[in-house]
Chain A
Amino acid sequence: MEFFEAIWDIFSRDATYVIAALFAGLLVLAASGEWVAERAGTINISVEAMLLSGAFVGAIGYDITSSPIVAIGAGAIGGMIIASIQAEMSHRMAADQFVVGLTLNILVFGVAAFLDREIAPDVRLASTWDIPLLSDIPLIGQALFGQPWPFYLIYLVVPFSWWLVFRTRWGLELRAVGENPQSADVNAIDVNKRRRQAIYYTGFTSGLGGAFLILVQIGEFNESIVGGRGFIAIAAVIFGGWTLRGTIAGCVLFATALSFRLSLSGYDINSELLQSLPFLVTILGMAVFAHRVRPPVALARPFVRGLK
């Protein structure tokens, strides 16, 4: 009984939604990019590394210029640097995408930790913008429209990702590459190039996510700032059945679960369970829906011309 009272109590507080939105914002940025890459047939375990790199390079950018705009740009570049290694090694050099991804996660963690000791960039949260009227909506107004301004990037990135995949020729080719690379190849589409581009896009949005982390959510940098949320973003894409709508829903759901840890700090709720929830829900979702939800046919299968 106490549990339900606690839940009710939490859901009637603005702060709950604000915290959940902060968690969700990061996931949404990373997951919408990862969604694009997975539609093209790559699973980037290195999203984690891209987020961390985005956060770190963003922090350096902020440290030098004290400008959030520069920090965001630097973050995007930081994400894309990692994306370039992932893309070139797995889709030009034909190295295994998981090996590259895992290695990058370890490498970036090491580099960030190493350089953070040497450089220690100084970061502050970006200023808060209250969107008139919208931010006055009860409960969710502050969460969605009363955040530090880089938060509003998600309102651009999500529709843009959808538009890219479903309304452009590039997106059409991307989907063809993810579903049937052999056919795409016959149609004179450079399969590995499209996949590389999709990974670069993941790097871009994840880099934004990293900048989001330091400018909107945390306000400082350290190497454990990402803490496995790249994996949760990947889980969200899978949970969402490779649709953008489902992916965003997954992000919101997982973010809510994660934010409970903060919201519920006064109550005795099992924090391990909360932290496992995104993964358990995803696994459960896959187990129940795996036969109905269809991943891109060529997901995680490298393409080499002439080989099946």
Chain B
Amino acid sequence: MSELDIARTSAPDSAPPSRAARLGEWIGMYTVSVLVALTVSAILVEATGGDWRPVMDALVDGSVQNPGRWGETLGVAAPMLLVALGVVVSAKAGLINIGQEGQLAIGAAFAVYFSFLIGGPGPLNVVILLLAGALGGALWAGVAGVLRFWRGVPEVLSTLLLVTVAGQAVAYGLRKSSLLLADEASRGNRNQVSEQLAPDNRLPRPDIFGNEFPITVYIALVLAAFIAFMLARSVWGFRLRMLGQNQRTAQRAGVSQRQYGMVALMIGGALAGLAGAAMFAGGEFSFGNYRLVPGFSANIGWTGLLVALVARERALAAIPVAFAFAALRTGSGFVAATGVESRITDVIQGLLVLALLMPPAVMFILDRRRVRAVSAART
């Protein structure tokens, strides 16, 4: 019996604070953290001779305020959310997949390759393209899965190492006209670029209140709800959680780590790959304008991973976090006009993530203090 669970059992008079008080603590800490991150960013801007206020205004204008901008932000948030959902599923199985950036790139490449290989009418092609993206990401994550479950290579390391390999593989494909490279007429003088997706093969972008965004947004939201439900209420989700929390208990109870872990990793990869395909066919300008180019994944994989981790691996919580991170990205385009280097948004994002890591960490320490107050008894 470990020190902790005795402690947990024997503390009737030092019960944790009430739910409301706890919620207050959380909100308070998150508010302070965000303020600190923004203040540090402001100091950085001011210290280098810039002006903070217009930067902030530009961020708000660029992400939500100006006409059409929140649609743009949603369009960027959708792939982040898809990636994050994949992280959630693998994490629930106790697997640390950090290679979404690569899985996303491979997914996009698969989408491009199969879309142009098969051709065909619009709607069908869009479906094929998305499925191919998911397949590509799943296979790439599957490589890490095979290494993990058949060769004992930790998936943390293999998924990480495979990121660069994926980027290079896509770059290679973009130099071969038999794979991804567009023909000369289409690419002009660019030498590593795919064919542009024909207009009727693109994802629809319905217009709502003057904002247009690809239907990926709806797909991502539906998937978020579906995954949240599956993890919480289905037998499959229950067994997956069991695996994540105690692999040996799960093994005895008939949850094979190979089988469930492999599926979880590949779902994670599939969602990242789907994000890549959706970026290619969804048409935010920053994602290559319906063309695959080197560096196409544009850190969406890394950011999606951060989204999931900041959301503490919960599918529904990832929705607002993804939106916030996407807003920083779409806002950054407007920051350049203020004369302050637009990289400041990378800084803000980094500081925000660090800041958002603090409340759980502080809470953890506080909880441990409370537990420690009663710990070590009778051991």
Which A residues fall within an 8 A CB radius of B?
43, 45, 85, 89, 93-96, 98-100, 102-104, 106-111, 113-115, 117-119, 228, 231, 234-235, 238, 270, 272-273, 275-276, 279-280, 282-283, 286-288, 290-291, 295, 300, 304-308
The minimal Cβ–Cβ distance linking A72 to chain B, given in whole angstroms, is: 25
Please give, as numbers and ranges, the residues of chain A lying within 8 Å of B172 by CB-CB distance.
270, 272-273
Please give, as numbers and ranges, the residues of chain B lying within 8 Å of A304 by CB-CB distance.
368
Please give, as numbers and ranges, the residues of chain A lying within 8 Å of B350 by CB-CB distance.
103-104, 106-108, 110-111
30 contacts between A and B (CB under 8 A): A45-B98, A93-B362, A95-B360, A96-B357, A99-B357, A102-B98, A102-B306, A103-B350, A104-B350, A106-B349, A107-B346, A107-B347, A107-B354, A110-B345, A110-B350, A111-B350, A113-B341, A113-B346, A114-B341, A115-B48, A231-B163, A231-B164, A272-B171, A276-B164, A276-B165, A279-B165, A283-B162, A286-B158, A300-B154, A305-B3
Please give, as numbers and ranges, the residues of chain A lying within 8 Å of B157 by CB-CB distance.
43, 238, 286
Q: Does B364 contact A (CB under 8 A)?
A: yes
Contact A286 B151 (CB under 8 A): yes
Given A104-B354, A107-B347, 4 other A-B residues pairs in contact with their CB atoms under 8 A: A93-B357, A94-B361, A107-B346, A113-B341
Q: Report the bound CA distance from A45 to B344 in whole Å.
A: 22
Closest 8 CB pairs of A and B: A107-B350, A110-B346, A93-B361, A306-B3, A272-B172, A272-B168, A306-B4, A118-B48
0/1 interface trace, chain B 334-356, chain A, CB 8 Å (1 if under)? 00000001011111011101100
List B214-246 residues whose CB lies under 8 Å from chain A. Answer: none
Total B residues in contact with A, Cβ cutoff 8 Å: 54
Say which residue of A98, A235, A305, A307 sits within 8 Å of B156 (CB atoms): A98
The minimal Cβ–Cβ distance linking A113 to chain B, given in whole angstroms, is: 4
Q: Report the bound CA distance from A113 to B341 in whole Å.
A: 9
Q: Does B36 contact A (CB under 8 A)?
A: no
Please give, as numbers and ranges, the residues of chain A lying within 8 Å of B156 by CB-CB distance.
43, 98, 300
Please give, as numbers and ranges, the residues of chain A lying within 8 Å of B346 by CB-CB distance.
106-107, 109-111, 113-114
List B1-54 residues whose CB lies under 8 Å from chain A. Answer: 2-4, 7, 44, 48-49
Contact A106 B302 (CB under 8 A): yes
Q: Report the bound CA distance from A24 to B175 in whole Å.
A: 29
The minimal Cβ–Cβ distance linking B206 to chain A, given in whole angstroms, is: 33
B376: nearest chain-A partner, CB-CB = A306
The minimal Cβ–Cβ distance linking B83 to chain A, given in whole angstroms, is: 13
Contact A114 B344 (CB under 8 A): yes
Please give, as numbers and ranges, the residues of chain B lying within 8 Å of A96 by CB-CB distance.
309, 357
Given A273-B168, A276-B165; A110-B343 close (CB under 8 Å):
yes
Q: Does B297 contact A (CB under 8 A)?
A: no
Q: Report the bound CA distance from A295 to B368 in whole Å.
A: 29
Q: Does B161 contact A (CB under 8 A)?
A: yes
Q: Does B330 contact A (CB under 8 A)?
A: no
The minimal Cβ–Cβ distance linking A90 to chain B, given in whole angstroms, is: 9
Given A283-B158, A283-B162; A275-B3 close (CB under 8 Å):
no
Q: Report the bound CA distance from A238 to B357 in whole Å.
A: 28
Given A114-B343, A276-B168; A93-B154 close (CB under 8 Å):
no
Please give, as numbers and ranges, the residues of chain B lying within 8 Å of A109 by CB-CB distance.
346
Contact A307 B160 (CB under 8 A): no
Contact A94 B153 (CB under 8 A): no
Say which residue of A99, A282, A288, A290 sits within 8 Å of B353 (CB atoms): A99
Q: Does B152 contact A (CB under 8 A)?
A: yes
Q: Report the bound CA distance from A204 to B361 in whole Å.
A: 26
Please give, as numbers and ranges, the residues of chain A lying within 8 Å of B341 by CB-CB distance.
113-114, 117-118
Contact B364 A94 (CB under 8 A): yes
Please give, as numbers and ranges, the residues of chain A lying within 8 Å of B168 by CB-CB distance.
272-273, 275-276
Please give, as numbers and ranges, the residues of chain B lying within 8 Å of A270 by CB-CB distance.
172
List B151-195 residues whose CB lies under 8 Å from chain A. Answer: 151-154, 156-158, 160-165, 168-169, 171-172, 175
Please give, as numbers and ranges, the residues of chain B lying within 8 Å of A115 by CB-CB distance.
48
Q: Report the bound CA distance from A282 to B153 in whole Å.
A: 11
Given A286-B153, A287-B151, A307-B4; A95-B353 close (CB under 8 Å):
no
Please give, as numbers and ranges, the residues of chain B lying within 8 Å of A279 by CB-CB distance.
161-162, 164-165
Q: Does B128 contact A (CB under 8 A)?
A: no
Q: Report the bound CA distance from A113 to B368 in whole Å.
A: 39
Contact B169 A276 (CB under 8 A): yes
A280: nearest chain-B partner, CB-CB = B165
Given A104-B350, A300-B156; A89-B361 close (CB under 8 Å):
yes
A89: nearest chain-B partner, CB-CB = B357
Contact B354 A103 (CB under 8 A): yes
Q: Report the bound CA distance from A307 to B44 in whole Å.
A: 40
